[in-house]
Structure 1
């Protein structure tokens, strides 16, 4: 059973982000940031988020939300979930660069507006 501390979560997220091919993070000028907060919308824990605003393009990973869902899981589960969340949020990023939002539309169809 693992309850990954925020510093350990941030270190793991940084390592996984460093393993990504540079083309996936092109124009992600805000970077990939692990933050301690937890986010819940529409009854769902939000593990990560791609944000495009006046400050640029950023992927956020929410440690508190991961802790809510995976507190009792082994480190390997945390690592796989962080990796999956990174790829999901980078899909949003790449679609935004291409001028489409297919993943966002699919999420809205499945979960409704969050």
Structure 2
């Protein structure tokens, strides 16, 4: 279906698109239930400075389409597929016109690779990622939930894909902290990370604190509100 639709799109929209692929994954929205990401335009690292050198991969998530079809008997695969494909191709055209934004994304991606490989990185790099809602940031397949605190809490309550969770914070945790979350019902394709940090102060510009990295187990929260 997607191959047929791609043939109907003017060829100039594919300039710089390395491939259009269908992934089996489902990508849930970080805070809202019954909402899924149907597709993404993923910019690739710049090899040249010229905007025309920008390349992207367009990915459509079959698992997300399937999840929505199971929720809605009137779900139109053809219409949603066409709208998602053309929407992501428009993103690619926009990226090619904004080289500076792509360079910033490259820096964020490089910092995230360093995190994954255990190399030093700027703990605040995720703030330059995509933010679909306040205090929630996406860097490629990884999601960061940003919490500014006065001190290390004993537990953290948060919302993920429309459900409330609570996670006990290990007593040895120090600030700032990256806590890898396990236990949510519909995890993202990559990591889900709780970021605990204090509000930046002037002397933080001259003295950095070591980053604590750990893991927490999330369970359903029965309280009425999520802070």
1:53 aligns with 2:61: no
How many residue pairs were aligned? Answer: 93
Is 1:35 aligned to 2:23, yes or no? yes
Between the two structures, name the one with larger relative contact order (CA 8 Å, sep ≥ 6).
Answer: 1
Structure possessing the higher radius of gyration over alpha carbons: 2
| Deviation per residue, 1:8-46 (Å, 9 max, x gap) | xxxx111111111101111112x1111111111313310
| Structure 1 gap segments, 5+ residues each | 1-11, 102-106
SS in 1 for 2:66: helix
Higher strand content, 1 or 2 = 2
Give how far 1:54 is off: 3.4
CA RMSD after TM alignment: 2.3
Q: Give 5+ residue unaligned stretches, structure 2.
A: 47-54, 102-129, 139-227
Please report the TM-score for the alignment, with normalisation by the length of structure 2. Answer: 0.37
